[in-house]
């Protein structure tokens, strides 16, 4: 197959591969329904990135860790580096379009142990993403109910709302993938339209706006740390957390038509579209701040900006837009995580793999994997009942779990050199420079978000993300010695034993 450049991967004159045959060549019998088109595949990554979820839920964090200047310029810089990561990952995805995605790529390019640890990191990040997204939606729902009905959102009540949202997303994901694809397609237009409405209203209605010098130049430090460079660095969490989850396109590749091209394109398009729209959203919110101190002290700062700028009735309507976007986001992330659980179990990597890899014969959906995904997400968010800073720790768990998992297959692809056989979507001569920039960036942010975010460091302010990362790595190491004989990604599909196992898993 001829090589092409990333800017026009579809221009190759070679015929596109038969995706079902390609999947068999990679070692897997197709059991998931290929009912998602290219737009739907892009939509799931765009929905998971969800600027109306990530930007909104960590906006309060950004107000005190560098303030407007770090939020706006940090978004611009982080988005550029994430685009490098996305481009490099898209190239590997085109060569290995499977539900296992990152860990399967690492296994093929680096060996079983590389695949094993990549899979566990990817799983941690995906589950942390569900917890972070849906808990953020619960916080905004509590703020909406407070405005509308005088509801007082205590930690216990917020957690109950969170559990209800998890249940909703589990149920929606039990239907076939066409529903997931439809909801994600709606989500794209909801996000684009929602940003336009929110920014437009906040630009037109308020009598007072902040100056451009404030929005793009004001530095605020309420972290307790004295070093402005350190504060600026940890303030990048807002952007880096939002720019997570674009591997969803890869995880849904076994359910996507023309996945070798569509999944790669979906990753890249989701990143640059979110990059542009997110900058507009952050600028619109920041220009509309009426009372900085009051906004920072609020339970949900973006809601306070809306209340101060346009009144409670208008704020209630805008909050509904945000909440719906967050619900779309959480639903898409649940789909991606459940496919990762399914794929990892298919290769016997998880405790109880025989249960989690089962697929419904009626909907062709991995039902047990859906329930396990939302159940573990609930466990990850439990500390929010006891710690006011637990939510930022959950978001950091997402970042330091999933971001290294992005870099591992990229690094292994670089190490493989000419042994790597590119798919129809590839970077050509730009592959190495883009790949090395991506790897270096990921190493930097992984170390960064393990560091403490507030001083003095106490039980309440400690960054527990590093502990979560250590626990998962220890668990992965222990389980490796238990399951290493049964764990394997097949090199070719077709043995009688494999066919019999696939048949048993369709229920």
**DSSP labels, 89-153:** HHHHHHH--STTTHHHHHHHHH-HHHHHHHHHHHHHHHHHHHHHHHHHHHHHHHHHHHHHH----
151 backbone φψ class: left, alpha, beta (φ>0; ψ -120 to 50): beta
Do the beta carbons of residue 223 and residue 27 sit within 8 Å? Answer: no
Q: Euclidean distance between the first and final Cα of the chain, in Å?
A: 38
178: confidence class by pLDDT, cuts 50, 70, 90: confident
Residue 433: what pLDDT? 96
Average pLDDT, the chain: 86
- How confident is residue 4, by pLDDT bands cut at 50, 70 and 90? very low
In 3D space, the residue among 308, 54, 32, 336 whose CA is nearest the CA of residue 169 turns out to be 336
**Of residues 278 and 54, more confidently modeled:** 278
* pLDDT band (50, 70, 90) for residue 215: very high
Asked if residue 36 has pLDDT above 60, the reply is: yes
pLDDT score, position 506:
56
Query: By percentage, how much of the chain surpasses pLDDT 90?
Result: 50
At residue 148 the predicted structure's pLDDT band, cuts being 50, 70 and 90, is confident
Alpha-helical (H) ranges within 205-247 are 212-217, 228-234, 237-242
Conformation bin of residue 225: beta by default, left when phi > 0, alpha when psi is -120 to 50: beta
- On the CB side of 220, CA atoms within 13 Å amount to 18
pLDDT at 273: 95
Q: Is the pLDDT of residue 324 over 50?
A: yes
Q: What is the pLDDT of residue 268?
A: 96
Give the pLDDT score at 13: 35
- pLDDT of residue 1 exceeding 60: no
pLDDT of 494 strictly over 60? no
H/E run at residue 69: helix 67-95
Three-state SS annotation for 319-353: HHHHHHHHHHHHHHHHHHHHHHHHHHHHCCCCCCH
Q: What is the pLDDT, as a whole number, of residue 304?
A: 94
Each residue of 267-300: pLDDT tens digit?
999 999 999 999 999 999 999 999 999 999 998 8
What pLDDT score was predicted for residue 363?
A: 84
CB atoms within 10 A of CB 229: 7
Mean pLDDT in residue range 367-375: 95
- In this model, does residue 33 exceed pLDDT 80? no
The reported pLDDT for the residue numbered 314 is 92
pLDDT band at 343 (very low <50, low <70, confident <90, very high): confident
- Asked whether the beta carbons of 394 and 467 are under 8 A apart, the reply is no
Could you give the 3-state DSSP secondary structure of residue 313?
helix
Helix ranges (H only) for 347-464 are: 353-356, 367-380, 390-416, 431-448
Q: What confidence tens digit (pLDDT) does each residue in 453-470 have?
A: 778 877 767 777 777 778
Residue 247, pLDDT > 80, answer: yes
The arithmetic mean of pLDDT across residues 73-86, rounded, is: 96
pLDDT value for 221: 93
Q: How confident is the model at residue 96 (pLDDT cuts 50, 70, 90)?
A: very high
492 — pLDDT class (breaks 50, 70, 90):
very low
> What pLDDT is stored for residue 8 in this prediction?
36
pLDDT value at residue 162: 95
Model pLDDT, residue 34: 80
Provide the whole-model pTM: 0.85
pLDDT on residue 402: 83
């Amino acid at each position: 197959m001829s090589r092409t450049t990333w800017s026009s991967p579809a221009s190759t004159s070679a015929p596109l591969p038969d995706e079902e045959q390609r999947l068999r060549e990679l070692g897997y019998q197709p059991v998931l329904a290929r009912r998602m088109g290219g737009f739907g595949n892009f939509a799931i990554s765009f929905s998971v990135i969800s600027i109306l979820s990530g930007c909104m839920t960590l906006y309060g964090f950004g107000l005190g860790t560098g303030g407007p200047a770090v939020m706006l310029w940090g978004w611009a810089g982080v988005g550029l580096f994430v685009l490098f990561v996305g481009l490099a990952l898209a190239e590997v995805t085109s060569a290995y379009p499977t539900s296992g995605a990152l860990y399967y790529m690492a296994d093929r390019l680096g060996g079983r142990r590389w695949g094993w640890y990549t899979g566990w990191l990817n799983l941690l990040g995906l589950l942390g993403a569900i917890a972070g997204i849906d808990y953020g939606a619960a916080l905004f729902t509590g703020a909406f109910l407070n405005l509308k009905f005088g509801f007082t959102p205590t930690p216990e009540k917020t957690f109950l709302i969170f559990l209800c949202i998890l249940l909703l997303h589990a149920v929606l994901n039990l239907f076939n993938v066409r529903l997931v694809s439809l909801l994600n397609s709606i989500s794209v237009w909801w996000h684009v339209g929602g940003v336009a409405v929110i920014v437009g209203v906040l630009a037109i209605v308020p009598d007072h706006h902040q100056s451009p010098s404030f929005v793009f130049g004001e530095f605020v430090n309420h972290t307790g740390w004295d070093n402005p460079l350190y504060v600026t660095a940890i303030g990048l969490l807002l952007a880096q957390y939002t720019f997570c989850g674009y591997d969803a396109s890869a995880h849904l590749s076994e359910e996507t038509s023309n996945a070798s091209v569509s999944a790669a394109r979906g990753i890249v398009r989701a990143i640059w579209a979110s990059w542009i729209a997110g900058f507009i959203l952050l600028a619109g919110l920041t220009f509309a701040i009426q009372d900085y101190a009051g906004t920072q002290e609020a339970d949900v700062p973006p809601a306070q900006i809306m209340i101060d700028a346009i009144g409670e009735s208008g704020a209630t309507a805008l909050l509904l837009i945000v909440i719906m976007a967050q619900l779309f986001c959480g639903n898409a992330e649940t789909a991606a995580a459940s496919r990762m659980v399914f794929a990892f179990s298919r290769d016997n990597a998880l405790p109880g793999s025989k249960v989690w890899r089962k697929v419904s014969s009626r909907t062709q959906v991995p039902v047990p994997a859906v329930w396990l995904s939302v159940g573990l997400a609930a466990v990850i968010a439990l500390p929010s009942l006891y710690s006011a800073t637990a939510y930022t720790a959950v978001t950091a768990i997402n970042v330091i779990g999933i971001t290294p998992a992005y870099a591992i297959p990229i690094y292994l692809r670089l190490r493989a050199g000419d042994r790597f056989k590119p798919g129809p979507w590839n970077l050509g001569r730009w592959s190495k420079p883009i790949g090395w920039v991506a790897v270096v960036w990921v190493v930097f942010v992984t170390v960064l978000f393990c560091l403490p975010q507030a001083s003095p460091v106490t039980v309440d302010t400690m960054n527990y993300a590093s502990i979560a990362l250590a626990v998962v790595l220890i668990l992965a190491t222990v389980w490796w010695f238990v399951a290493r004989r049964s764990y394997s990604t097949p090199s070719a599909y077709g043995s009688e034993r494999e066919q019999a196992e696939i048949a048993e898993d369709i229920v």
